[in-house]
């Protein structure tokens, strides 16, 4: 009888790769992956704390890249960025299937693990495209454009290049309020950053006067161009779900 082993990691991608290293090193068959500080409910399981080791993580990632195609790499990374609880287990099962199979597994959507990761990719991609469409910048008093977002998935790494190219001539911050980190573009490079207190949309004292005036003008324009007789709330919500309204100036 194989005792359940719970691998506890730090929540980083490198930490997850180290979990894979331990599974192969010790030939662990029955396992569960949890992040630190998550509750442990299995009383009779063996708890193993996984320490993140950059060298081991790189060995595993290099091995995966040698075996995987572009689609598999995308699935693994997207599934990790989804942060869906328990998805680490699916990622590891996918990696095992990928490494152990002599065939290309990417098109085998009849396999439950392959199908699951493909579904997750679709969900994360949908959120990425919506963030590209619904991010609204506000000009701060220090001349930096700021946008606070709360995406369902950790999509900041996926939208970084898009905004760096689209708004290459201005400094900006896109801040994930849910995960408490953001991207800062300084006209040259994009870097990750954290704020002690993230600006709120209604904190007028941190926005330039021109920005506040612009927001009021935009709200009035939106209101006066909206034709009540042609209003289709159901269609509108389908294209712009309510959970995104807090990002939109005209909805504030």
**pLDDT at 245 > cutoff 60:** no
Quote the mean pLDDT of the chain: 85
Please state, for a pLDDT cut of 90, what percent of the chain lies above it. Answer: 62
Total count of domains within the chain:
2
| Whole-number pLDDT of residue 111 | 95
Identify the pLDDT of residue 214. 46
Do both 115 and 148 map to the same domain? Answer: no
pLDDT tens per residue, range 61-118:
999 999 999 999 999 999 999 999 999 999 999 999 999 998 899 999 999 999 999 9
For residues 150 and 231, state if they share a domain: yes
Angle ∠(195,196,198) on CA atoms, nearest 5:
60
What is the pLDDT, as a whole number, of residue 2? 73
pLDDT on residue 18: 98
Round to whole Å and give the CA distance between 114 and 42.
27
- Select from 94, 126, 158 the last residue of a domain: 126
Write out pLDDT tens, residues 32-48: 999 998 877 777 889 99
- Give me the DSSP letters along 167-221: TTTS-EEEEETTTTEEEEE-SS-EEEE--SS---TT-GGGB-HHHHHHHHHHHHH
CA distance 92 to 84: 14
Boundary of a domain, candidates 81, 103, 126: 126
Report the candidate in 129, 120, 128 with the shortest Cα–Cα distance to residue 85. Answer: 120
Tokens of 146: 């700021």
Give the model's pLDDT for residue 91.
97
- Determine the structural domain holding residue 36 and report its residue range: 5-126
């Amino acid at each position: 009888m194989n005792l359940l082993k719970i691998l506890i990691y730090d929540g980083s991608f490198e930490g997850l790769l180290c979990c894979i290293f331990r599974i192969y090193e010790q030939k662990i068959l029955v396992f569960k992956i949890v992040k630190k500080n998550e509750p442990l409910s299995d009383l009779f399981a063996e708890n193993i704390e996984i320490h993140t080791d950059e060298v081991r993580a790189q060995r595993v990632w290099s091995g995966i890249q040698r075996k995987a195609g572009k689609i598999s790499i995308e699935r693994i990374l997207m599934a990790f960025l989804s942060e869906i609880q328990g998805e680490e287990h699916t990622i590891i099962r996918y990696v095992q299937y990928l490494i152990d199979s002599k065939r290309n597994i990417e098109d085998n959507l009849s396999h439950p693990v392959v199908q699951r990761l493909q579904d997750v990719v679709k969900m994360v991609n949908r959120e990425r495209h919506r963030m590209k469409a619904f991010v609204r910048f506000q000009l701060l008093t220090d001349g930096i454009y700021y946008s606070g977002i709360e995406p369902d998935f950790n999509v900041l790494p996926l939208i970084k290049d898009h905004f760096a190219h689209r708004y290459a001539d201005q400094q900006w911050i896109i801040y994930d309020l849910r995960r408490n980190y953001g991207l800062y573009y300084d006209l040259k490079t994009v870097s990750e950053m954290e704020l002690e207190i993230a600006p709120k949309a209604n904190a007028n004292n941190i926005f330039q006067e021109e920005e506040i005036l612009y927001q009021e003008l935009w709200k009035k324009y939106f209101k006066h161009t909206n034709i009540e007789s042609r209003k289709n709330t159901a269609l509108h919500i389908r294209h712009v779900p309510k959970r995104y309204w807090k990002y939109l100036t005209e909805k504030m």
